[in-house]
Each structure stands twice: as C-alpha cells, then as structure tokens.
Structure 1
Amino acid sequence: MVLAAGCGGSGGTSHAAAKSGAKSGAKGAAKSAAPVKAAPKKLTFDLVKGVGDTALGGDRACGYGEWNDGTFAIGKPYSKQTTFYREYSCYEKKGELFPNAAGQMTYAEFGTPAQATAYGNYTKTNISAVAVLVSENTAVTMNIGYLTVNKMTLLKQVQAACGGCGTVIAGPHASDPVPGHVDKS
C-alpha cells in the first residue's frame, strides 16, 4: 500500500496522529474482516447445477444441454450405490431423444463416504474421466466429450463455490490442453 503524505490543506492532522489513526483503523478492519478461507459448504446438486449450467450451457459445442437422471456416465457397481444421480448431457437441439454428448458433468450422492471415495479413486483409471471432486458422500465428475470448456477449471469452480470442499482427483484426461475436449475432425 502506498501512503501519500504532505497533501496541503488547512486543519490537517499531524503525521503521528494520522499514523496512529491508520493503525487503529487497520486493527479494527482486521477484526471485522471475514476469514481468509470460509468454512466449506455442503456440495449439493443445486450448487453444482448453478455453476454447471452457466459454463456448460454457454459452450458453443452444446446446442442444447440439460440435467437428466440417465446413467450413461456411471458404470457398475457405482451406479447401484448411488442414492441420487444427475448428469448434464448435450443435444443438437431441444427435443432430441439421444444426446450427442452424454454425461459431460455428473453429480452423484452415494450411500456412504467410502463409496464416494471408491468411485473417486476409480476415475484415476476411467478412460473417459477428466477429474472428480469428492466431498463426503458426494462426487462430481467431469468427463471427456465435444465441449470446449476447460473442464478442470470448471470442476475447480465448483470446489470454490462450496468453499473449498472436498478433494479433486485427476483422471486420465486432466492434463489435456483443453481437458476433456475431443476434436470432431
């Protein structure tokens, strides 16, 4: 911070008084400032949907996207362990029966934190995985596909939105130049 001294004007305070006031003001501000790292929030579908809709819905490669309860992007035994599951899929246009890019982002709640962690560890070798965020009994996965959004960045935005909750586990496509992007050419 740069302090400017010597500004003219009548009725000014002395340098010592200004310095004392600045210290007490800074001390008061420090007491009222929020902690640097807020306590993590619970990772919920509404939170993920809000962040995901903004990024994925604006992707030029996704004509029309929506969250559905299909299970294209989660295999056995993990699909059987979920208590709530949604995936974001892209279609050429609204009303189409089959997506052209299914399961771009998934949200899964498992019966136990151990099941979510096992699923997260599975994504390290899952050929279609960019990465997964595991928090308690919940996992949010980014998968490869035709979207051009940086999926690793998007997953980190979800983590930031929940106050830094959980752990990001990288999958095989985490280091792609545009993680998860597959060229159509």
Structure 2
Amino acid sequence: MKRLLIATAVAGATLLLTAACGGDDKKTDDKAVPAAATSAPASAAPAESAQPSGSAKPSGSAAAGKGVQFEKIAQLTGDLFTKDEMCPVGKWDSNSTGVPSKYRSAVANFKQFDCYKKKGDFMPSRGQQAIFVEFKAANAAKAYAQEEAKMYPVLLAGNTVVVAGTGLPNTDMKAYLQAVQETAGGAGEILAKA
C-alpha cells in the first residue's frame, strides 16, 4: 500500500511539473528584454563557409548541427516584439498552415508569433512576425530555410528553423535572430536575403 501511495504521489507531481513547464504557450509576458536582444549588433559578418543555393548569405558558427529549443526563444521573442508599437499584444500559435504544404509532412513542431492590437482580438493585426519550425530531418529544415531566406532573415540550426517574419518597424529582425542564435549557444547559421 505504501508503494502505491508513493508511486501515485510521484506520478501526480510529475504531471503537475509537466503541465507547469510545457503545454501550449499562448501567453505574452511583460518582462524586460534580455540583454542579448538589445545588445546584438545590427549586422553579422559573412562567414567563409559554403554558401547554400539561392540568394541567401550564411553567417554562423561551427555548432550548426545543434537545434534551437522553442522554450528558450519563446519569451525572448514576446518580450522584444511587444515593445514595438505595432505589436502591443503578441502570442504564439500552433497553426501549421503557416508552413507551405510541401513541407508540412516533414514538420515535427510549428509555432508562429502573431501580433494583436488588443488582448482578446480574434484576428492578428500582423501575422507570423516570427516562425519556429522543428523538422523531423535536417535536410527538410535546410530546404525550407533556404526558400524562406529569399524573403526573410532566417536562422537554420540543425533540424530547426526560426524565420524573422515580415518585420516590425522598430525591431531589428536580424539582431533578433542573432539574439536567438546566442540563446541557442551560438548554434546554426543566419541566412539573409541578398
């Protein structure tokens, strides 16, 4: 009986911790922007590594095989973007229709950060200001990143891609990606349109 009570208590505690740490991140925090987001330089020096096909130019580190964890960038994104007057309220959504249909079957996890004029609005005023995609395989991530980099700044790290969306007027989207890369321990390479 004692073992059953201990096992039940451990299972309950595990469920509570999982619920507190995980789940669908639909909140926007109003905390200060981490120093990495405000101190990142406006542009990155081009790397001497092989350039991917398309018009993208890489910059990054040797840690390109390591992916980005969504939990590590979720708050950084919300804190930075909601400081822009065009994004007073923001939230992450998991609507994977934001990925072109040819890549959807390769997606393991998808999140997009949308901006709203006020809390409770049903439709965003600015959609997909940031996109986080975790792919099942690194080759799918690379193909998607190269395609997106023709239009937007992109961070490719292993099997994850962070796209800096259409841009906010008072937010340096390339500096945002550099802060994301720093949060990921310098992993990956930043691809930017020419």
State if a TM-score over 0.5 links the two structures.
Answer: yes
Number of aligned residues = 133
Change (3 A) 1:92 1:82: same
Q: Return 5+ residue gaps in structure 2 as ranges.
A: 1-60
Partner residue, 2:22: none
Report what 1:107 is aligned to: 132
Change in 2 beyond 3 A, CA 1:100/1:67: same
Measured after TM superposition, the shift of residue 124 of structure 1 is 3.1
> Is contact 1:65–1:90 with CA below 8 Å preserved after alignment?
yes
2:190 corresponds, among 168, 172, 182, to 168
Computed over aligned residues only, the root mean square deviation of the Cα atoms, in angstroms, reads 2.2
Aligned partner of 2:135: which letter? F
Distance in 2 of aligned mates of 1:42 and 1:121: 16
Identity %: 25
1:152 aligns with 2:177: no
The TM-score with structure 1 as length reference comes to 0.65
- Give the letter for the 1:106 counterpart: I
Secondary structure, counterpart of 1:143 in structure 2: coil
Letter in 2 for 1:87: Q
Determine whether 1:135 maps to 2:157. Answer: yes
CA distance in 1, matches of 2:96, 2:167: 16
Distance in 2, matches of 1:72 and 1:143, equals 15
- The answer for the alignment partner of 1:83 in structure 2 is 108
The question of whether the paired residues in 2 share the 8 Å contact of 1:48 and 1:107 is answered with no
Higher alpha-carbon Rg? 1
Q: In 1, are the aligned partners of 2:167 and 2:173 still within 8 Å (CA)?
A: no
Structure 1, gaps ≥5 residues long: 1-36, 173-185
CA distance in 1, matches of 2:153, 2:88: 24
Higher RCO, Cα 8 Å, sep 6+: 2
What is the alpha-carbon distance in structure 2 between the residues aligned to residue 149 and residue 130 of structure 1?
Answer: 14
Of residues 54, 57, 78 in structure 2, which corresponds to 1:53?
A: 78
